[in-house]
Structure 1
Amino acid sequence: MSNTAEIYKFPDRKGESPKVAKLEDGYVRTATAIVEALERAPLTSREARVIRTIERLTYGWQKPDARISAETIAERTGLSETNASAALNSLIRKCVVIRIGGSRSPVKINKQVDQWDFSAQKSRVTPNCKSKTKWSESIQDGYVEPIQNGEAYKDKKDINTSPNGEEPISSEISEQAEPEKQSPKYPDCPHDKILDLWADIMTDKRQHARGMWSGSKRAKALASRWKQGFKIKHDATGQYLYTDAETGVEWWGRFFKFLRKSTFLMADNNWFDLEWVCKRENFEKIMELKYHGDAR
């Protein structure tokens, strides 16, 4: 590949010096019902940091909602913009946070805590304890720990089978090959997280209906490009684009920002969307900087 150093860099993180907390310096008034609901909510560590940021920038200023960018959340939490955006979108899907409008619209904490929905979230149960069927029930005799973002994915028994499928890549070894010669197993493509990144970064471009995505040809193409990223090495460093699910999601966030540097791709057109980007030929041309001659 040509020089792709621009989409390799990780954002710098700056720490803040400690200080003594004093009420006279300010405090946040949050309803007890929300505080108690957050005590029981199986949030990931990143989601917990993001919800506290929203709490601070809304209730801390005595406002019901606020326009908060991923960049602002990243600065306040120490997360990368990619992870901050993904955690915010996850909170919105779980109805803990409400977004009033499009991706850059104000957000607020959903005060109707009985609407918070963690039913789709995977959880790890403490050994010898029974899992509760409802997240808001007492944590006694059945504490459920939330699964953390970035946790290692378990190997799948069959790498050629996933909810969204994958199109074949010519360099892959067939299923009839010797077991010791089979291709490495990679984490399943995180379609929702990548679609969230596209919605957050490409706000002015075509968006895809989530309900029509699963099982489609474009979903299969994205899954293949996701797998391909584990096999592409940077010419200068010899490193792979990413090596696990977490670094993979971060790379796709930087990749979308890299696309915005192309005058040609960002022109007023109706053909440029995630489906176009995920087609093998287009993806490889992008990686070879054929659409970024003006940005070199």
Structure 2
Amino acid sequence: MTGNGEEAPFIFIVAGEPSGDALGGALIRALRKRTGGRVRVAGIGGESMAEQGFASLVPLSDLAVAGIAEVLPRAPLILRRVRETVQAIRQLRPDAVVTIDSSGFSWRIAHRLRRHGERLPLIHYVAPMVWAWRPGRARRMARWYDHLLTLLPFEPPYFEAVGLACSYVGHPVIESGADRGDAARFRASHGIAEDELVLTVLPGSRGGEVRRLLPVFGAALRQLDPMIDPFRVAVPTVETVADEVTAGIADWPGRPIVLRGAAAKYDAFAASRAAMAASGTVALELALARVPMVIAYRLNRLTQIVLDWVVKVRQVNL
């Protein structure tokens, strides 16, 4: 597709939440490297994809919700975004569509495209955790998608068994630079003395989880406050929830520092004695950086009741 005189390949990428946006940004970089820059991209993403010159068709904040109770009030908007995305794909006629994670949004797009008779290649990036709950999702995916890119090496057999071609591509955290932060740079940038202990707190990237976890983490810090002196708190966040995080930590001890961007986050990791974090990919980043961590998550009560019936594992992290 990229030979002399041939048109550059055109890929439509859909990322419905910040973690998918990070994968999308890395994917765009890799595609440009692979094609010598001769690739066109369009679709939906956030700040990581925007750094690659990507203009999202809709704001990522419209889509970055999780949990039954959280999704229900946003359902009309999300379904409208599904229709708009399908319409855009049918008008733009890309060579392939890559949907990243966010199965509730991504799969509706794939389903509607197939229902409209579209035969363009559909690729999904990040396998659903069928090994933990709702194994029937593998067969559903096989109806719509041509290929699945998995992050973990044990995942392909679950999908290949129902006829969906898979490629294990590895977890991007390994190449993220999470283990290459600069502690001295972080301390110098924020005027933190060598004898001040640094704790990193990561309350999540979605509005609902931030609202539920900030009080929990804040209470934990208040318990630690009389035991640790002096200490500072680093709070990495993403643009979609940055204002909410900033307001929510205003009364925390440890003179919290709000951080944006991966480089600042990884520098904070390098300087940190320990971390408290929302369950998710950040746990792998912290492990790679060798930061001892406490992982927490709090669901909306309705979501928790439903998941108690269907989840097959007792502990949840990634």
TM-score of the superposition, structure 1-length normalised?
0.24
From the two aligned structures, give the one with the greater helix fraction.
2
From the two aligned structures, give the one with the greater strand fraction.
2
Tell which has more relative contact order, 1 or 2 (C-alpha 8 A, sep 6+).
1
TM-score of the superposition, structure 2-length normalised?
0.23
